């Protein structure tokens, strides 16, 4: 239980992030989303969720050299496919 409380506090801190970077390492790795009827990359739903929460999102296929302007950075490294 001692581990859960700090983890919940860290996650709730991410929810307050106003400037977020999403780094899409493997932009070729796509998956079919039947809800959208289209193929999406690994960061699509993360980006949509953050935008719905009112955050500013910069997403791209290159990682910025200076990350100090971001409150959170998500590194999407691809998906496990069989």
Would you list the domain boundaries of the chain?
Answer: 4-76
pTM of the entire structure? Answer: 0.69
- Kindly tell me if the per-residue pLDDT of 43 is higher than 70: yes
Supply φ then ψ for residue 50, to 5 degrees: -65, -40
Query: Whole-angstrom Cα distance, residue 31 to residue 82?
Result: 12
CB 38 within 8 A of CB 2: no
- Kindly tell me if the per-residue pLDDT of 80 is higher than 80: no
Average pLDDT over residues 17-34: 82
Query: Whole-angstrom Cα distance, residue 59 to residue 64?
Result: 10
Pairing of β 56-60 and β 38-40: unpaired
């Amino acid at each position: 239980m001692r581990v859960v409380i700090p983890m919940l506090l860290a996650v709730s801190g991410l929810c307050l992030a106003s400037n977020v970077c999403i780094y899409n390492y493997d932009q070729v790795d796509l998956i079919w989303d039947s809800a959208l009827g289209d193929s999406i990359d690994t960061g699509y739903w993360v980006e949509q969720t953050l935008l719905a929460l009112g955050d500013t999102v910069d997403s791209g296929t290159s990682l910025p050299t200076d990350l100090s302007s971001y409150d959170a950075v998500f590194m999407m490294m691809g998906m496990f496919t069989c």
